Amino acid sequence: MKKFALLASAMTLGLASESASGARAEDGYDLWLRYRPVEAPAAGAYRAAASELVVQGGSPTLAVARDELARGLSGMLGQAPPLAAAPGRDGTVILGTPAGSPLVARLNLPLEPLGPDGYLIRSVQVDGRPATVIAGNSDVGVLYGVFDFLRRMQTRQPVAGLEVAEAPKVKLRLLNHWDNLDRHVERGYSGQSIWDWWRLPDVRDPRYVDYARASASLGINGTVLNNVNAKADSLTAPYIAKAAAVADVLRPYGIKVYLSARFSAPIEIGGLKTADPLDPAVRAWWKAKADEIYRTIPDFGGFLVKANSEGQPGPQDYGRSHADGANMLAEAVAPHGGVVMWRAFVYSNEQPEDRIKQAYNEFVPLNGKFRDNVIVQVKNGPLDFQPREPFHPLFGATPKTPLMMEFQITKEYLGFSTHLVYQGPLYEETLAADTWRKGQGSTVAKVVDGSLFGHALTGMAGVANVGSDRNWSGSHFDQANWYAFGRLAWDPELSSRAIAQEWARMTFSNDPRFLEPVVGMMIASRETVVDYMTPLGLHHLMGEGHHYGPAPWVAGGPRADWTSVYFHRASPEGIGFDRMASGSNAVAQYAPEAGRALAADEKNLLWFHRVPWDQRVSSGRTLWDELVVRYTKGVEEVSAMRRTWASMKPYVDPQRHAEVAAYLAVQEQEAQWWRDACIAYFQTFSKRPLPAGYAPPAHSLDYYRSLEFPYAPGRGD
């Protein structure tokens, strides 16, 4: 393939263009916090609204809020407004809490309903002068308000007459880093881990501060530092000290650190002969370990656990339940205010009739059996972060046990960092799905935010796409997925289109000639990747192990449910996995109304049904013809994305424009590969010609099957 030549050529062109034009180069490091100069007349209005800063209180968090506001205003308005002890002119911006600022206290702001992380931004009169107050019940609430205020300027919104009251709907808003201690990132496509464990705790990379700034700007308040496929070494004293150094950097930004805990750690580093959660010695070991961690990291968040899944140790090794294992750890961290996030991504060594049913079957009987400081972390779909899956049937099925959403920000199954796929619509589709568990309108978002069943412990986790690449996420548009996750973790009912608008304005340009086509391209991109990878409900067709590229022919190996043929079940008679009553009956794990709606949606056709090749679909075409049309449409849509981006050259700096263009060229090439390989393979079963006017695959099926990628990035352990 010509991928690397394409990349090198476009990046060289980008650098050459930058040199020739004299335009300022941008490499993506600043993310959406670029704070570039605001044009007139908006700049004048903003200067009048931010003529000086008054910050009463001396905490590290208020200090970073003050510095961020000064940094942002300086970048956008040409200079930072002066600091003052008290308002002395029109347009003062006041930061603080009622507890720490007498000035804020005497304004009698209605802050109490907003909780610890909420904030107000309000236009007020102070001693007869117009001012803006950014206040919260806590210093971190003030920090979140500062980022909101700056975002309004970055996106050219008015900052006069403000009456903003914001509070997060979700309590735990976490990034999960699948980062190993050797800095390899499992399912990572943007360089090494940003956590330099070898140099920690003595060397604290300044990049950690910028990571904290970016995350806090979205309201993210926690990070799990290490892989869910955890090593017990992470819980030893030297690594606890390293985690503490990271915690020290993140703390002023309201971000707690968490660790993935290996269930067998009492054996591997504790010298015990068992990890049985009901064994008193094991319970005592975990209690002592938790005490040790909290002595070093007083605000440690708690543990994330992957157990009895994909060969990881867990309580079932001892005949115990997930609740037994989670409750043991919860008991250890409870005195310190810690939580346990127990992942529901489980499937046993025994191969079930349908792998996607196992998590529901294991966790629904445990409803109400977990301690109050346990939350069960559930992937958005019942399989594994596919381009499209129905929502996970566990959502809404455990009214006495809170569930935490797990989205994958890193694009393990969506073209790695090379393909432009904005996942906001995927996240929104899942969150807006109706579980029907308490009647119509019982959305997944209401399960996640706790409102459906009255849970106080709520959470959303995103498997991070952050790495050591200069642009953080491997490609510029992948930054939008980090951004979208954070915004939806704050409010799961936000619009993915509105989020894309915000991000595009802050990251590239406020020019409507740029925004309309690029936001449209972003919104369509998720459906595009579905078309050229897994149309009509197909799933898990990716290469084995590395999950790169098409491989619908994968069969054999240690487990059937690690193969593509297990999921698509193509034969001369048809294709698709029957999950209706006539098959595995996985549809019965949903409320009846939700199951009927999902099974009737053509987007999920081959997820729920086995369909003959000649059956007509909604377009009037046969299934076979429709698959060919969808695969081809996906390629055409990527070609259209390339044309759209090429026309955006006047609005984007040369370096970033060239880098995005290079990746779109790769994406078009790989979309064609997906289309041709899948059509070539499935045609061996359909035995039907392609529809008139549709080109045959460029190569033989043997060619596509011969391709190997032993060094693809991000492979699992």
| DSSP letter assigned to residue 236 | S
> Is residue 365 within 8 Å of 322, Cβ to Cβ?
no
Q: How far is the C-alpha of 617 from the C-alpha of 226, rounded, in Å?
A: 46
Q: State the amino acid at position 700 in one-letter form.
A: S
* Residue recorded with tokens 């006069």: 160
Catalytic residue among 384, 389, 527, 637: 384
- The CA dihedral of 497, 498, 500, 504, to the nearest 10 degrees, is 140
Catalytic residue among 117, 324, 389, 412: 412
Q: How far is the C-alpha of 96 from the C-alpha of 85, rounded, in Å?
A: 13
| DSSP letter assigned to residue 560 | G
Could you give the 3-state DSSP secondary structure of residue 531?
Answer: helix
Tokens describing residue 427: 């996240």
> Is residue 632 within 8 Å of 673, Cβ to Cβ?
no
> Is residue 262 within 8 Å of 235, Cβ to Cβ?
yes
Of 436, 419, 363, the C-alpha closest to 596 is 436
The answer to whether 626 is a known catalytic residue is: no
Cα of first residue to Cα of last residue in the chain, in angstroms, is 27
> Is residue 350 within 8 Å of 367, Cβ to Cβ?
no
Determine how many CB atoms are found less than 10 A away from the CB of residue 112. Answer: 9
> Is residue 380 within 8 Å of 429, Cβ to Cβ?
no
> Is residue 18 within 8 Å of 655, Cβ to Cβ?
yes
Catalytic residue among 196, 233, 310, 561: 310
Q: Which DSSP string corresponds to 256-271?
A: EEEEE--TTHHHHTT-
Q: Based on the number of CB atoms within 10 Å of its own CB, is 116 exposed (0-12), middle (13-18) or buried (19 or more)?
A: middle
Of 495, 487, 499, the C-alpha closest to 460 is 487
Q: State the amino acid at position 340 in one-letter form.
A: V
What would you measure as the largest C-alpha separation in the chain, in angstroms?
82
Q: Where are the beta strands (DSSP E) in 137-240?
A: 163-166, 172-176, 222-224
Q: How far is the C-alpha of 186 from the C-alpha of 670, rounded, in Å?
A: 22
The answer to whether 68 is a known catalytic residue is: no
* Residue recorded with tokens 């992948």: 478
> Is residue 644 within 8 Å of 504, Cβ to Cβ?
no
Q: State how far the alpha carbon of 462 is from the alpha carbons of 178, 183, 423, 714, in Å.
A: 10, 19, 12, 17
The answer to whether 310 is a known catalytic residue is: yes
> Is residue 249 within 8 Å of 203, Cβ to Cβ?
no
Give the H or E element holding residue 669.
helix 654-686
Q: How far is the C-alpha of 282 from the C-alpha of 313, rounded, in Å?
A: 14
Tokens describing residue 196: 């330099």
Give the H or E element holding residue 133.
strand 129-136
Question: Is the CA virtual torsion 560, 563, 564, 570 positive or negative?
Answer: negative
Tokens describing residue 347: 């499937």
Q: State how far the alpha carbon of 424 is from the alpha carbons of 216, 337, 428, 501, 607, in Å.
A: 19, 32, 6, 11, 22
- The CA dihedral of 144, 149, 153, 157, to the nearest 10 degrees, is 110
Q: How far is the C-alpha of 126 from the C-alpha of 110, rounded, in Å?
A: 17
> Is residue 596 within 8 Å of 589, Cβ to Cβ?
no
> Is residue 156 within 8 Å of 510, Cβ to Cβ?
yes
| DSSP letter assigned to residue 340 | E
Residues recognised as catalytic: 310, 384, 412
